[in-house]
Amino acid sequence: MLPQEFIRRTKELLHGEYDALETALTSQPPVSFRVNPRKFPVHLLQDLQNPVGNTSGRYEKVPWCETGYYLQERPSFTFDPLFHTGSYYVQEASSMFIEQAFLTIIADAVASTRKPLIVLDLCAAPGGKSTHLLTLLPEGSLLVGNEVIRSRSVILAENMAKWGRADHIVTNNDPIDFGKLKPVFDIILADLPCSGEGMFRKNPTGRNEWSIDSVKLCALRQKRIILDVWDALRPGGWLVYSTCTFNTEENEDNVYELARKLRAEIVPIPVTREWDITGSLRHDIPAYRFFPHRTRGEGFFLALMRKNKGAEDAGMTKTKYKNRKQSASVPAEIKRMLLEPDRFAFFMDGGVYALPEIHKNACSVFSETLDIISSGIRMGEFRSKDFVPSVSLALSSEINPGAFPSIELSYGNAIRYLQKEVILLPENTSKGYILVTYKNIPLGFVKNIGTRANNLYPQEWRIRKRTV
């Protein structure tokens, strides 16, 4: 049952459309995902629909996302090895609309011949929007994905590693910590914690937790978060404000009030009428709402704001960075595990990490203020004299496939590997570290010691379910 006060308020918001919304909230939510263009050949879409031989659905494009698709049925993603390779990310379709906001921003950046962008995804876990941004941003850009809850930041780091891009940092900080930085970000994406009305269909328990007090508290928290991080946004920079809720207090009212307080411009985003996106319901501002009875997705709200260009731009280059143990101490044979090692700076920090050289200064600046969970590619670690390669290296798009012998796994062996069970290798397999693949896409490493192969898949990532 929907809360009575929610019904009353939403009827006032939608007038004659409320019954259609309520019907939509009782239906099955659509299934959607985004492919990773650096890993996922289009011909594998059929395998995604039918990973274990018991499903036969069709897929359709998500119209506002170039790499987004709907599935007719929901397969068992947990038991699809392609899911674990980072070949695609299961994500709610409405939230993929951030692509249109970023295309608007990037078009402006290209027109003004700006350099690659430095971007903050402020409330990033579990990683849907961050992995999306890594696909969208111009070459040479840097993404900082942040999550305030420690356990969720670890999940974020896992999903970023699986996506396979090196141009990112994962942090575990309160938004106010970013406000201590000089204006360094060209874009801040704030997908804000909210009362969750737009997810009632996917999260029925959220209905019982909903209240007007919760709406008011969320609205206040959202404003505080934006005010906390605003000083870290460069003059002329962009803020993408989004929630997954319906009410105006957390959406139009907040955007309108923040824009006035911060003297920011609310910028329109080009949309197509066929998408059936609802405009602003208050204040006559450019804003974009997704209602489940109109669009094929969950509830979502987005507005695009631009900071006044008049303030001083401190930038990243005026800040000194502390020394870190880097390149000289990392053996050349480890560096050659990447396709283009000369593009990377290598760091020793409880393991060996590789970060694009162009981001070395930024990472060091951030490390002065922020709690960095991961950065770039975790190559592996030394255990005695042995260098043990990391699963992050295996999943990276930058790995040099010629650096390791590889073995293609069957579906059954791939699942056993992901469950961290023993797998048998062909008798003629060479000893040492072996890259294991599924449909020629890397899954991770094993160490073949002759009598057996040690499974090096991370214990915390393993599939815990035993059957589909």
**Side chain identity, residue 91:** Q
Phi-psi region of 450 (alpha: psi -120 to 50; beta: other; left: phi over 0): left
Q: Could you tell me if 437 and 413 are in contact, meaning their C-beta atoms sit under 8 angstroms apart? A: no
Angle at 206 between CA 205 and CA 208, to 5 degrees: 70
Q: Could you tell me if 121 and 338 are in contact, meaning their C-beta atoms sit under 8 angstroms apart? A: no
At 355 the three-state DSSP class reads strand
Neighbours of 463 (CB within 10 A): 17
Per DSSP, helices labelled H in 292-435 are: 332-335, 360-369, 391-395, 411-418
Q: Annotated catalytic residue: which of 123, 194, 244, 363? A: 244
DSSP assignment of 124-160: -TT-HHHHHHHHHSPTT-EEEEE-SSHHHHHHHHHHH
Residue 244 appears among annotated catalytic residues = yes
Residue 232 Cα distances to 79, 118, 182, 198, 303, angstroms: 41, 11, 6, 29, 19
For 400-468, what is the HEC assignment? Answer: CHHHCCEEECCHHHHHHHHCCCCCCCCCCCCCEEEEEEECCEEEEEEEECCCCEEECCCHHHCCCCCCC
Residue 56 Cα distances to 1, 49, 51, 252, 282, angstroms: 33, 6, 10, 42, 44
Give which of 33, 136, 42, 51 is closest to 89, Cα–Cα.
33
Give which of 266, 211, 215 is closest to 243, Cα–Cα.
215
Report the C-alpha gap between 127 and 189 in whole angstroms.
Answer: 12
Give the active site residues: 244
